[in-house]
């Protein structure tokens, strides 16, 4: 009887094992699904943007004496480096150093000539504009991407980006700013629910005059 029961049990066990393996293989296939051209372009631009933001944040650490600006810069560096590391996992073999080189831009050169409050205002308002644009781009990719791993990545990244946006806006709300900066911040609050119509195009969430 025991032999008979065992012989009947083995096939069922194998079937369950095969089903488990098949499910795991299907999930692995979804995780390693190739990125399409738009998804690859998103990651390339996002990594370049991360490099640019890290470079500007490092400049802020070197030039600013405002504790809140320093806190914002430190958070941006930590966040963007973490995002780039996860992007590299989505694109094995990507050259992070190349992204760092591509991160240079005219805004960084402009900021190098500024000091004091002028630097702090420029850095903080630039961070607000950038994070608004990035959040919109990440949200668009989360909705449009067919790649499960990329969707998970953008889903996880958006709250962190929003956190730094909140900090940057809080710095702009600080006392001592001139009237144009306060008016620009009011524009951000009024249009905070807006979406970018075109991927990676500047959006009018911040109508800052500087």
Same domain, 3 and 71: no
Same domain, 86 and 164: yes
Give domain status of residue 203, yes or no. no
Same domain, 1 and 49: no
Q: Tens digit of pLDDT for each residue in 71-88?
A: 999 999 999 999 999 999
Residue range 102-130: mean pLDDT, rounded: 87
Question: What domain count does the chain have?
Answer: 2
C-alpha–C-alpha distance, residues 122 and 130, integer Å: 12
Look up residue 168 and give its two tokens: 């940057």
Give domain status of residue 183, yes or no. yes
Yes or no: say if 126 and 110 are a contact pair by the CB < 8 Å rule. Answer: no
CA-CA distances (angstroms) from residue 167 to 15, 68, 172? 54, 9, 9
Q: Tens digit of pLDDT for each residue in 118-146?
A: 999 999 999 999 999 999 999 999 999 99
| Mean pLDDT computed over every residue of the chain | 75
93 in the Ramachandran plot: left (φ > 0), alpha (ψ -120 to 50) or beta? Answer: left
Is residue 189 pLDDT above 90, yes or no?
no
Give domain status of residue 195, yes or no. no
Same domain, 90 and 177: yes
Same domain, 63 and 116: yes
Yes or no: say if 64 and 120 are a contact pair by the CB < 8 Å rule. Answer: yes
**Please, which pLDDT band fits residue 106 given cuts at 50, 70 and 90?**
confident
Give domain status of residue 204, yes or no. no
Give domain status of residue 205, yes or no. no
Give domain status of residue 123, yes or no. yes
Is residue 191 pLDDT above 50, yes or no?
no
Domain that holds residue 12: 1-32
Same domain, 45 and 143: yes
Same domain, 13 and 97: no
Is residue 9 pLDDT above 50, yes or no?
no
CA-CA distances (angstroms) from residue 189 to 24, 123, 128, 159? 46, 19, 11, 18
Look up residue 9 and give its two tokens: 């049990």
Same domain, 82 and 132: yes
Same domain, 50 and 125: yes
Is residue 103 pLDDT above 80, yes or no?
no
CA-CA distances (angstroms) from residue 19 to 9, 24, 44, 148, 159? 16, 9, 38, 22, 36
Is residue 99 pLDDT above 70, yes or no?
no
Give domain status of residue 209, yes or no. no
Same domain, 5 and 83: no
Place of tokens 């306060």: 182
Is residue 8 pLDDT above 80, yes or no?
no
168 or 210, which is more confident = 168
**CATH number for 109:** 1.20.1260.10
Q: What percent of the chain has pLDDT over 90?
A: 52
Burial grade of 74 (CB within 10 A; 0-12, 13-18, 19 or more): middle
Long-range pairs for 56-59 at CB < 8 Å and ≥24 separation?
A: 56/107, 56/108, 56/111, 56/123, 56/126, 56/127, 59/108, 59/111, 59/112, 59/123
Q: Tens digit of pLDDT for each residue in 34-65?
A: 889 999 999 999 999 999 999 999 999 999 99
Place of tokens 């009011």: 186
Same domain, 99 and 138: yes
Q: Tens digit of pLDDT for each residue in 11-33?
A: 554 454 445 444 444 444 445 67
Yes or no: say if 167 and 71 are a contact pair by the CB < 8 Å rule. Answer: yes
Q: What percent of the chain has pLDDT over 70?
A: 62
């Amino acid at each position: 009887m025991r032999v008979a029961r065992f012989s009947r049990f083995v096939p069922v066990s194998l079937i369950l094992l095969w089903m488990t393996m098949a499910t795991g293989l299907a999930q692995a296939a979804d995780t390693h699904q190739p990125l399409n051209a738009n998804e690859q372009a998103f990651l390339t631009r996002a990594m370049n943007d991360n490099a640019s933001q890290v470079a500007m944040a490092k400049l802020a650490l070197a030039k600013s004496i405002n504790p809140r600006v320093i806190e914002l810069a430190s958070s941006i560096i930590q966040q963007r480096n973490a995002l780039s590391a996860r992007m590299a996992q989505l694109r094995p073999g990507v050259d992070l150093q190349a992204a760092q080189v591509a991160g240079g831009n005219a805004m960084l050169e402009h900021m190098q000539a500024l000091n004091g409050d002028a630097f702090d205002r420029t850095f903080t308002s630039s961070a607000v504009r950038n994070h608004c644009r990035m959040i919109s781009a990440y949200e668009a990719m989360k909705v449009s991407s067919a790649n499960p791993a990329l969707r998970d990545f953008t889903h996880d990244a958006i709250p962190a980006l929003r956190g730094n946006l909140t900090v940057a806006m809080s710095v702009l709300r600080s006392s001592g700013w001139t009237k144009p900066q306060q008016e620009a911040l009011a524009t951000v609050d009024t249009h905070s629910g807006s979406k970018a119509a075109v991927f990676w195009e500047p959006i009018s969430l911040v109508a800052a005059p500087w």
